[in-house]
């Protein structure tokens, strides 16, 4: 995602079934959860048909921007690459819904397309995913608990609170998931690091 007002803190490259987070301390702000099944359904029929068969390389750490100085987390990601070829549209294993499987921090490129073509299509899909009609805004307070299905959401934290001097402390749990399967019935394929479903 290329909008500087929000920062992706997780999302569709996770293969866990669901995540839970519990607010612990601080003025915690908001979280946005984006419904990627609704975003897919909101695309025009020709665009849905076009993206249904595409695959994209998801690479851990692609969109992370290092902070000034040494950033141990980003360095770790870059030194321990994990990548997989995932369907651009996955089928939810329980509901059968088609879900956009895009994330600005993990998707490197759409397979078999030029960088320019891939970038234009990813921009279109990411703009679709963050439309307000597909978004729920959740206000964190100490003791709040939230659950979401990583197979069908992107969750975002606003970056406009970075200037405030307070910690955002949370505990997060991710449950075991499944290997994403595309509209064509083909599962994700590992590229490097580990098999799909392990990150």
User: Which tens digit of pLDDT belongs to each residue from 136-171?
Assistant: 877 777 777 777 787 888 876 666 556 656 665 666
Short-list 28, 10, 122, CA closest to 64: 10
Directed axis angle between helix 115-129 and helix 45-52, to 10°?
120
Which pTM value belongs to this model? 0.76
DSSP character at residue 31: E
Write the CA distances from 134 to 56, 97, 137, 155, integer angstroms: 22, 15, 10, 12
Token pair of 189 as six digits: 């394929």
Where does the pLDDT of residue 1 fall: very low under 50, low under 70, confident under 90, or very high at 90 and above?
Answer: very low
Residue range 34-60: mean pLDDT, rounded: 94
User: pLDDT for 62-74, tens place per residue?
Assistant: 666 656 666 676 6
Quote the mean pLDDT of the chain.
Answer: 76
Q: Note the pLDDT of residue 12.
A: 39
- Yes or no: is domain 6-191 CATH 1.10.10.10? no
Higher per-residue confidence, 131 vs 167: 131
Predicted confidence at residue 9, as pLDDT, reads 34
Confidence category of residue 56, pLDDT binned at 50, 70, 90: very high
Assign 19 to helix, strand or coil. strand
Mean pLDDT comparison of 2-6, 170-174, 194-198, highest-scoring range: 170-174
Sheet strands side by side (includes 55-59)? 107-110, 55-59, 83-87, 189-192
pLDDT value of position 131: 92
CA–CA gap between residue 136 and residue 123 (Å, rounded):
21
In the chain, which ranges are continuous DSSP H helix?
36-41, 45-52, 72-79, 115-129
Domain extents in the chain: 6-191
Check whether 115 has a pLDDT greater than 80.
yes
């Amino acid at each position: 995602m290329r909008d500087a007002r929000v920062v992706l803190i997780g999302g569709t490259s996770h293969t866990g079934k669901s995540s839970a987070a519990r607010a612990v301390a601080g003025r915690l702000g908001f979280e946005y959860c984006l419904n990627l099944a609704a975003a897919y359904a909101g695309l025009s029929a020709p665009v849905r048909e076009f993206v249904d068969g595409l695959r994209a390389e998801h690479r851990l750490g692609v969109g992370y921007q290092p902070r000034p100085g040494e950033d141990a987390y980003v360095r770790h990601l870059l030194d321990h690459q994990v990548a997989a070829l995932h369907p651009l549209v996955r089928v939810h294993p329980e509901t059968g819904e088609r879900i956009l499987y895009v994330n600005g921090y993990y998707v490197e490129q759409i397979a078999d397309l030029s960088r320019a073509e891939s970038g234009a299509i990813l921009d279109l899909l990411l703009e679709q995913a963050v439309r307000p009609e597909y978004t729920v805004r959740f206000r964190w307070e100490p003791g709040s608990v939230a659950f979401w299905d990583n197979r069908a959401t992107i969750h975002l934290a606003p970056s406009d609170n970075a200037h405030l001097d307070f910690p955002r402390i949370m505990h997060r749990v991710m449950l075991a998931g499944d290997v994403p399967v595309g509209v064509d019935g083909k599962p994700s394929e590992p590229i490097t690091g580990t098999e799909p479903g392990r990150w």
